[in-house]
Amino acid sequence: MKKTLLSIFMFSTLLFANSFKVGENIGTFSLPNQFDEKKSINSDVKLILVSFEKDTGKEVNTFLASKPKEFLALHNAVFIANISGMPSIITKLFAMPKMREYKHSILLIYDEEDDRFVKEDEKTTIYKLENGVIKSISYVTADELEKVFE
C-alpha cells in the first residue's frame, strides 16, 4: 500500500513538475492572441483564466462577449485558451475565424508541451495573482464565472 501511494505521489509530482504553483512568481512571458499579436503577461496581471477544452472555452467566450470590450483590462485579467490538441486544419479553417469575431483578446497556447497551467476536466482554471505571485488556483464552471470577478 505504501509503495502504491508513493508511486502515485511521485507520478503526480512529475505530471505537474513544470506547472505554476501557489506562491510562485509567474515572471513575464508572451503568447499570441487570435490576431497573432504577441501579448505579455507580467506582474500587472491579477487574474488568469485558462481553458483547455472546446466547451469551457465557449463558456468563457460567451461570458466575456456579454461584457464591455475593456472588461478584461479593467480587471487586469487575461483569458488563455490552450488549443494545442486541436488539429491545425480545424484551427485555421474554423476556430481562428470564429475567435477573431470576439471583441475580447484570447491568448493562445499552441504547444502541447506547454504544461505551466494545471487543468481539471470540464472546468476553467483560475489563477489569482498579486504582484506576479500566484495566490490561489481554482477551477470553475460557467455558472461560477461571474463570481470570479467580484
Domain ranges of the chain: 20-148
For the chain, give the percent of residues with pLDDT over 70. Answer: 89
CATH no. for 20-148: 3.40.30.10
The DSSP code for 144 is G
The 10s digit of each residue's pLDDT in 80-97 is 999 999 999 999 999 999
Per-residue b or e along 33-60, where b marks 16 or more CB atoms closer than 10 Å to that residue's CB? bbeeeebebeeebbbbbbbbbeebbebb
Q: What is the pLDDT of residue 18?
A: 81
Q: What percent of the chain has pLDDT over 90?
A: 85
pLDDT band at 148 (very low <50, low <70, confident <90, very high): very high
Q: Following DSSP, what letter does each residue of 70-94 receive, concatenated? A: THHHHTTEEEEEE-TTS-HHHIIII
pLDDT of residue 1: 53
Helix (H) or strand (E) run with residue 8 in it: helix 2-15
Q: What are phi and psi of 19, to 5 degrees?
A: -80, 145
Output DSSP code: residue 95.
I
Q: Is the pLDDT of residue 16 over 60?
A: no
50 contacts 20 by C-beta, under 8 angstroms: no
DSSP 101: T
Amino acid identity, position 15: L
pLDDT at 112 over 50: yes
pTM of the model: 0.86
